[in-house]
Chains A and B, each alone.
Chain A
Amino acid sequence: MSSTPDTPLLEMREITKSFPGVRALDGVSFDLHAGELHALVGENGAGKSTLMKVLAGVYPFGSYGGDVLIDGQVRHFASVRDSEHAGVAVIFQELSLIKELSIGENIFLGREPRRFGVIRWEELYSRAQKLLDELHLPLDPRTPVGHLGIGQQQMVEIAKALSQEARILVLDEPTAALTDAEVESLFRIIEGLRSRGVGMIYISHKLDEVFTVSQRITVLRDGRTVGTKPTGELDEARVISLMVGREVGDIFPEAAHERGEVVFEARNFTVEDPNVPGKLLVKDVSFNVRRGEVLGVAGLMGAGRSELLMGIFGAWPGRVSGDVYVGGVKVKVSRPSDAIRHGVGFVTEDRKRFGLVLDQTILNNMTLAGLRKLSGRFITSVDAEAAKGEQAKKDLRVKANSVFTVVGTLSGGNQQKVVLAKWLLTNPRVLFLDEPTRGIDVGAKQEIYALINRLAKEGLAIVLVSSELPEVLGLSDRVLVLHEGRVTGEFKRTEATPEAVMACATGHTQRAA
């Protein structure tokens, strides 16, 4: 079979892949043309990552059914190395760069230009410089990668892929950690790659981005393709309904919270960068939240939202100053246990890193923060815990066989529910939620939205930090906007339009003043 202009760059035919107890892919077909960006969307667990792992040779030939064709020829990848040779490069969510090594060393890691086994540094760095120039990155290839921001690191990953002459580039949630400016420069680079004939597969939960950059969209659901269409023939509502298999109505149920007295107040919080003395990440921020109220905190990456919450909670490694009032009484919070004792709960971002002990059971995770109250001051009782854990599991609809299931085996949405349960079991008066729906699928998101509303109705005060503006606007009674560590705006629910909030978040009001 020879390659003709009509032959797709990549074709995956009837791919099936089973794991013990589950069929992750069930006859998925997918193709990609040179110079095309084909978006792959679907809920978590729909099979996107599995499909990409088949393509990348993570699951070797023979462990899946169906064919992978590149330039019309069936390929049998036994390893990631094989797929790289065939021009496939995957940039996963978790970056695979070595922070201590320089940009150039990372780009050519394992493929350093050498003579008699001795690395030719001049050639390595000049080639690296060339790649960076092609991507219009104003970086010195000798800079250690650890000095770069996440966004720039991602660009280095792309440069690395290009150095391998990748023709098929898989981008898995590439913008998850990027600022808006970085997203824009990523999109410019994507355009450049397209014009060079690189085919790209773009996996993202952010539909607006998908619609901006893609030419075609394929939706996966439960390991099957539910549709492949040119982007122009779809809209967001249609894609969402394909993803969840039902029409989604208003995903943010109108919140009518009864607001009571102020239960929590933070005054004059300033948070310093632990690594750069003198650099303030949060500057003199004050806010309060009432019983039954959802206070949204909006802001761009680096606005200091998580740092503010960490600082209040007593969990920030650097210097923090500011006062905390709970129920009108000033309390001293110097470590998380103080905050928990005073009724503050904190669902941190990045649940795998900060929220869960992945090796342990649902029950052990649920009771970790409130163990002394739930089980006993020193001697614990599995049965007392299990009773409460079962109740919480039912309440939050955690999908698992039992509370003794290991948390690491759950899906993202269910893991997040376990983290929520952990904090609800401490019986908090105010709950901080930092990016509570990041990386979880649409269905689980909705459940968490409904839960937030229910908790507020029951009288809990909630502080919600989210990078997704619609989420903040849809759930909050009041919105606080941060920009570079300062409060630049505060809106009531009715006044909070996306435009107004975004203007504050980008610091426009400051500059105008």
Chain B
Amino acid sequence: MSNQLSSNQPATNRPPATADVSPPGAVPEGVESPAGGRFRLPTESLRAYTMIIALIAIWLFFQWKTVNPLYPYGIFLHPNNFSNLLQQMSVTGVLAVGMLMVIVAGQIDLSVGSVVGLAGGVAAMSQDPYGLAGALGLALVVGTLVGAAQGALISYANIPAFIVTLGGLLAWRGVILGLSKGATIPVRLQFFRDLGVEKLPQPVGVTIAAVAIAAVIFLTISRARARKRHGLSVPGLGSTVLRIVVPAALIALFIFWMNMGGGMPVPVLVLLVVAVLGGFLTQNTTFGRYLYAIGGNPDAARLSGINIRRYILAAYCVLGLLVGVASLLHTGRVGSASPDAGTLMELDAIAACVIGGTSLMGGRGTVSGAVVGALIMASLDNGMSLLNVENYTQYIVKGAVLVAAVGFDMLGRRKS
């Protein structure tokens, strides 16, 4: 018996940290006897931690490597460079949020790079005839329509997503080459350009931080009330305070750091908004829940009354819209729309999702993971550029990191 007890130890004594990141409200209510003794480590939360630890390790490494007499504490995390880094990742980040939804539903989209080129080109070309609203609006419409068209072919005509979007990768690039006749079109409208590069005035940043902190407080308290109303255990005062103070401190620090570098870049704000909305959509709506179910087990989802085709189509539309957003950020930042804009961006977006713990088989992955994945990729890019690492080495390192991230994931999964 004592033997059995000791073998039970590791199961019940899990690291206390895991409780904090397991799904909200995961505090076991009235714990019963362990189910048949079988137990699996909460791989997803564990994975989230490894990812963040990896990110911090990368940051510290580059910080240490960029120490020089002018910058005795290193350049990498210096506000100027850090805001630059975030600005660089925002396009990939927005694409990754959309891509995540499609991948979670068990699908893929290889065409987003070409559609970034197409939508950005259309926006640049429509500056003169239609003005600002027309240009920005058309980019979003083009992105959404392309997503809808491809989504319809995938879900209603039963053509595999890989094929449809591989075709799209070629075809949409052809369309923009034809439309622009191969010419690069400059961005003339100031606001359009600002979307990609401008920094928000510092007071605006502070206001945003204040609003965000207020939202955190409001949500935490209303959540606790809701739990009480539903007769669930309410977290203690200490943990409630912690749940407010930690995010609030992070928000404040973030804005402080951005303001030190001259203000938060607009594309970073766009990415944050997209990420928050995307996170809400995937975690707190029936739409998101159905996507996970469809990706996890399409048969079970169908028999539970979920209209699989409709939701897959919807996921492609959301991705398409975000591709439109990303195309505006990218075109604004570059300052012009060239016909080959966005090339290979689909691979960056997919890589960001995968590094962030998304399973290409569907059913697993989170928006926050995808954003952290994009951040890891951008950090590698930025850091290696600072260190003047040769271009070819950068490619090799990024490729190796992608494969290694999935390798570690598999290793961890096998153990559990």
| A and B assemble together | yes
Residues of A within 8 A of B (CB): 18-23, 45, 313, 315, 335-337, 339-341, 346, 348, 353-361, 364, 368-369, 371-372, 375-384, 386-387, 390, 399-402, 404-406, 408-411, 414, 422
Known: A315-B303, A404-B26, A409-B35. 5 other contacts (CB 8 A): A21-B39, A371-B286, A400-B35, A411-B36, A422-B304
- Chain B residues in 8 Å Cβ range of A45: 36
CB distance from A52 to the nearest CB of B (A): 18
> In the docked arrangement, what's the CA distance between A414 and B287, Å?
27
B35-A399 in contact (CB<8A): yes
For chain B, the bracket of interface size reads 35 or more
- Chain A residues in 8 Å Cβ range of B24: 382
Q: 10 pairs across A/B with beta carbons < 8 Å? A: A359-B364, A369-B304, A383-B226, A383-B230, A384-B226, A386-B25, A387-B232, A404-B25, A404-B26, A414-B36
- Chain A residues in 8 Å Cβ range of B12: 21
Residues of B within 8 A of A (CB): 3-4, 7-8, 10-12, 22-29, 31-40, 223, 226-227, 229-232, 284-287, 289-290, 292-293, 296-297, 299-307, 363-364
Closest 6 CB pairs of A and B: A22-B37, A21-B11, A387-B230, A357-B296, A337-B305, A402-B28
> In the docked arrangement, what's the CA distance between A273 and B227, Å?
49
Main secondary structure of the interface of A (DSSP, over half): mixed
- Chain B residues in 8 Å Cβ range of A364: 289, 292-293
- Chain B residues in 8 Å Cβ range of A356: 297, 300
> In the docked arrangement, what's the CA distance between A387 and B304, Å?
21
CB distance from A348 to the nearest CB of B (A): 6
- Chain B residues in 8 Å Cβ range of A379: 284-285
- Chain A residues in 8 Å Cβ range of B37: 19, 21-23
If A20-B39, A357-B301, A369-B304 touch, whether A380 touches B286 (CB-CB below 8 Å) is yes
> In the docked arrangement, what's the CA distance between A346 and B304, Å?
9
B230-A21 in contact (CB<8A): no
- Chain A residues in 8 Å Cβ range of B302: 315, 336
If A315-B303, A361-B23, A378-B286 touch, whether A409 touches B31 (CB-CB below 8 Å) is no
B296-A358 in contact (CB<8A): yes
CB distance from A73 to the nearest CB of B (A): 29
B232-A409 in contact (CB<8A): no
> In the docked arrangement, what's the CA distance between A107 and B55, Å?
50
- Chain B residues in 8 Å Cβ range of A390: 29, 232
> In the docked arrangement, what's the CA distance between A23 and B2, Å?
12
A384-B36 in contact (CB<8A): no
A354-B230 in contact (CB<8A): no
Closest A residue to B415 by beta carbon equals A20
Closest A residue to B39 by beta carbon equals A21
A348-B303 in contact (CB<8A): yes
> In the docked arrangement, what's the CA distance between A335 and B289, Å?
20
CB distance from B249 to the nearest CB of A (A): 25
A401-B32 in contact (CB<8A): yes
- Chain A residues in 8 Å Cβ range of B229: 383
> In the docked arrangement, what's the CA distance between A361 and B4, Å?
27
- Chain A residues in 8 Å Cβ range of B296: 357-360
> In the docked arrangement, what's the CA distance between A375 and B232, Å?
15
CB distance from B329 to the nearest CB of A (A): 28
If A23-B7, A364-B289, A405-B35 touch, whether A382 touches B303 (CB-CB below 8 Å) is no
B227-A383 in contact (CB<8A): yes
CB distance from A15 to the nearest CB of B (A): 15
B36-A382 in contact (CB<8A): no
B226-A19 in contact (CB<8A): no
- Chain B residues in 8 Å Cβ range of A359: 296, 363-364
- Chain B residues in 8 Å Cβ range of A315: 302-303
A406-B40 in contact (CB<8A): yes
CB distance from A125 to the nearest CB of B (A): 35
- Chain B residues in 8 Å Cβ range of A361: 23
Among B35, B226, B364, chain A packs the most CB atoms within 10 A around the CB of B35
Closest A residue to B364 by beta carbon equals A359
Among B227, B304, B364, chain A packs the most CB atoms within 10 A around the CB of B304
A401-B28 in contact (CB<8A): yes
B38-A409 in contact (CB<8A): yes
> In the docked arrangement, what's the CA distance between A348 and B285, Å?
26
> In the docked arrangement, what's the CA distance between A411 and B363, Å?
21
Which residue of A18, A353, A360, A405 is within 8 Å of B293 (Cβ)?
Answer: A360
Closest B residue to A390 by beta carbon equals B29
- Chain B residues in 8 Å Cβ range of A355: 300, 303
- Chain B residues in 8 Å Cβ range of A346: 303
> In the docked arrangement, what's the CA distance between A369 and B223, Å?
25
